[in-house]
Amino acid sequence: MKKIHFIISLFVLALFTGCTEDNVAINLDAVNAPANISALVTITQDNQGNVTFLPRGEGVSQYEIYFADGTVMPTTVSPGGTTTHKYAEGVYKTKIVGTTINGKRTEVIQVVTVSFLAPTNLQVTVTPVVGDSRSITVKASANLETYFRVYFGDVLNEVPVDFMEGETITHKYAALGTYNLRVVALSGGAAKTEETKVVVISDPLLLPVTFETVSPIFGNFGGATSTVVNNPSKVGINLSVKVGQLFKNAGSEVWAGTIIDLAEPIDFSSKKIFKVKVWSPKVGIIVKLKIENLTDANTNAEVDATSTVANAWQELSFDFSAKDLTKSYQRIALFFDFGIAGTGVNYFFDDIQLISGIPPIVLPLTFETPTEIAGNFGGANTITIDNPKSDANNSSAKVGACTKSVGAQVWGGSFITLTNPINFTTQKKMKMKFWSSKVGIPVLLKLENLTNASVNKEVIVNSTVAGGWETLTFDFTTIDLTAGKTYQKVVFIFDNATAGNGTTFYFDDIQQSN
């Protein structure tokens, strides 16, 4: 029977090629072996064990099914055809063989479970399709099941889709709405097991993200869990009803966070600064905002900001103007208290938006943008330049360069005005990367009140390296923090107490530290 079927296939091919022009030849040896061989296996729910096979594959002229239950001869099935076989209860390693018209064969083993008991341990996974807000994928697994049936819940008198364990089914909803997706696990008995999942198809998620009308499916990692909740502190700068909540579980990774996928790539053509409203139970936490390519996580950029209030909403800015924005970024990742393991604390976030304009001047000062130098005095001049002394201790793209011109005052220097006063609640030291051509340079770092220069604190540290970057630490633990005394101006004087002689000093990464 097998040989006759193969001869007929060749005969049909000969009829087809006979209709072509004489100079057209078909090389049968070039036909590839069959690919993606499998079968949809269904069973009647009547305790009879009647199993139907619908074999599937690519490049197949016929299938052979070996039932693995003691039946000696296989059954031959044509493409698109089915065959039914009666099994006793058990688990069978059925062999499915696909054959091409030139006789090449590919075979797979497909496990067939025949049980007259209800399936157990049904697990259903529904996942949104990246970049398509209306499409989902469905997978399922269970014990004792033969196959699954899924109802997507979006049409009347719906015809379900049958699928096997290990198979992924994709479905696109035609309209926005909330749907009850139902997956039924079937065995050979009348009893069955099913699970219902609520699927929300909403407007495409675009910037700004407000959570008022859209509930994104968060991609959590590292032990963090994010959901949309009612605003726990509806006062001050955030009166929104709904906000995002990130719970950093106790023992979660220091890099635990959440991902939001947008419906389209971020447009950085005119706006390059992210603003996010955040609420934290403590001050001084690092909030990291990272943007990624949708399919290549190695294409990314990130910016850190530090919270300055506790138990209240504040708006943090993340300036991406110095980053490579020529790539496509469609994913936003948020990390709270980055670098610290989770302790079971909730953080909240809202109103993720992209804006234009000059970003706020906040610590740390990295000089990656040229807007941080507020003023010079006493014959010194500071500008932001490309790092001319890049080494292992400082490979930043941009640094501050202070030239103490010939004849400059011994106190000649520059200053930076911060947008907000420095928060000394937890960190009372300052660090600065410094480069000088000679060793032993007295570096004065002074912190001043914004309107009253008599409210100040200065610390002098001598450099210890010549011709290389080093990190200097300035201890402000004795700074006067009594009521009304705040510090918002950062003043620096290089080679303090020595008149200028035209030397340029380089500095970078002024930040708080413990």
- Residue-wise pLDDT for 97-110, tens only, equals 999 999 999 999 99
From the options 2.60.40.10, 2.40.400.10, 3.40.50.670, 1.10.20.10, give the CATH code of 2-114.
Answer: 2.60.40.10
Give percent of the chain with pLDDT exceeding 90: 76
Distances (CA, A) of 295 to 256, 292, 352: 20, 8, 22
pLDDT reported for residue 215: 73
Contacts 24+ apart (CB under 8 A), 239-245: 240/210, 240/211, 240/212, 240/350, 240/351, 241/212, 242/210, 242/211, 242/212, 243/211, 243/277, 243/279, 243/348, 243/349, 243/350, 244/211, 244/218, 244/348, 244/349, 244/350, 245/346, 245/347, 245/348
Answer whether residue 264 shows pLDDT above 60.
Answer: yes
Q: Is the pLDDT of residue 12 over 50?
A: no
Q: pLDDT tens digit string along 113-137?
A: 999 999 999 999 999 887 777 899 9
Q: Domain 219-355 has what CATH class?
A: mainly beta
Please, which pLDDT band fits residue 23 given cuts at 50, 70 and 90?
A: low
**Burial (CB count within 10 angstroms: exposed 0-12, middle 13-18, buried 19+), residue 510:** buried
Per CATH, 219-355 and 375-513 having the same topology is answered yes
pLDDT tens string 225-246: 999 999 999 988 898 999 999 9
Tell me which of 451 and 506 has the higher pLDDT: 506
Q: Which of 209-218, 348-357, 446-455 has the lowest mean pLDDT?
A: 209-218
Task: Return the structure tokens found at 413.
Answer: 């220097």
Helical spans, DSSP H, in 80-213: none
pTM over 0.85: no
Strands 50-58 and 35-43: antiparallel
Domain 375-513 is found in CATH 3.30.565.10:
no
Asked whether the beta carbons of 274 and 208 are under 8 A apart, the reply is: no
Architecture of the CATH domain 120-201: Sandwich (2.60)
Residues of the chain with pLDDT > 70, as a percent, come to 94
Tokens of 279: 């609420």
> Does the pLDDT at position 179 exceed 80?
yes
Instruction: Determine which of 4-18, 223-237, 260-274, 470-484 has the lowest per-residue pLDDT on average.
Output: 4-18
- Give domain limits for the chain: 2-114, 120-201, 219-355, 375-513
pLDDT for the residue numbered 3 = 39
Q: What per-residue confidence (pLDDT) applies to 225?
A: 95
Give 18's pLDDT tier (boundaries 50, 70, 90). very low
Beta partners for residue 384, in sequence order: 400
Q: What is the pLDDT of residue 24?
A: 53
Predicted local confidence at residue 65, as pLDDT: 98
Distance (Å, whole) CA 439 – CA 374:
28
